[in-house]
Amino acid sequence: MILTVTLNTALDLTYRVRSLRPHTSHRVSEVIERPGGKGVNVGRVLAALGHEVTVTGFAGGGTGRAVRDGLAKAGGLTDALVPVAGATRRTIAVVDEHSGDTTQLNEPGPQIAPAEWAMFLDRYAELLSGASAVALCGSLPPGVPVGAYAGLIRTARSLGVPVLLDTSGEPLRRGVAARPDIIKPNADELAELTGSHDPLRATESARRRGAHTVIASLGPNGLLASTPEGRWRATPPGRVHGNPTGAGDSAVAALLSGLVTDLPWPTRLAHAIALSAATVRAPAAGEFDRQTYEELLGRVTVTGQAGR
């Protein structure tokens, strides 16, 4: 079982409009509602790839009930969310059909009480006993300690469970010091962490700070991997147009899948690129276009070498 942790779960709403213009009203042509948050999106993609997945984090209020109902309908995911008094946040993506651009609005999330955090820690420790890997994903809701991910990483490492961390800012900085197996920052997050805007130098700096492996997301320019086994660069065959929301989460899913099935790094990276691009083609986060995925997989370019 792969465990995904989403401390700031969300009800994702995707609106499609013909053309998004400020200071005007818009007629929405389509509305898609899905359980969301980075770890939930990762879990949905992993389940579609055939993995057994458990999702945990927090859920509360009417939006929390909608998230749990959506997980039950989705299939393939075990719901281990911890109930809280506050209402789960919403995220709103507005897709401009004319330009293909997406505008994202993210609410902060509910206030988590100390007793609710303690309840989650107990549930997390229980779930790790049956996990082959764990992904810690996304932002922290109010009330959760800024060093939360560092503590969760140490707990997983003490039980021999490999950890992938995908977050940003101070939670990322503190999490890296706890020595996660993999981190997957984007270029801006990596620069903020290390102070370097050169991706190659920044990935090496992040490893010196504690990360075992660093997979840097360079947007349409692909992925840069710095691992104990070697360094690689993976690039897509061309730019893919569509909704980029969730593309990074699909890359995380591919990396976790490759981890638990012990694929070589070049193959893992090719799957991550193809799956990300296939997600851009899909209508909502946490989904991917399987035909695009299969078509692109053999066309991803991976360069680099094993060793240091």
Token pair, residue 97, equals: 């059909």
Active site residue 249: yes
Active-site entry in 79, 249, 262, 289: 249
Q: Which of 123, 138, 40 is nearest to 83 (CA)?
A: 123
Q: Which amino acid is at 220?
A: P
CA atoms of 160 and 59, how far apart (whole Å): 28
Q: Which of 33, 16, 29 is nearest to 99 (CA)?
A: 16
Give per-residue burial for 155-183: e unless 16+ CB within 10 Å, then b: bbeeeebbbbbbbbeebbbbbbebebbbb
Residues pairing with 31 in the sheet: 15
Give per-residue burial for 244-262: e unless 16+ CB within 10 Å, then b: bbbbbbbbbbbbbbbbeee
Read out DSSP for 52-112? -EEEEEEE-HHHHHHHHHHHHHH-SEEE-PEE-SSPPEEEEEEEETTT--EEEEE---PPP
Backbone angles phi, psi at 28, to 5 degrees: -85, 125
- Chain centre distance of CA 106: 15
Question: Active-site residue numbers?
Answer: 249
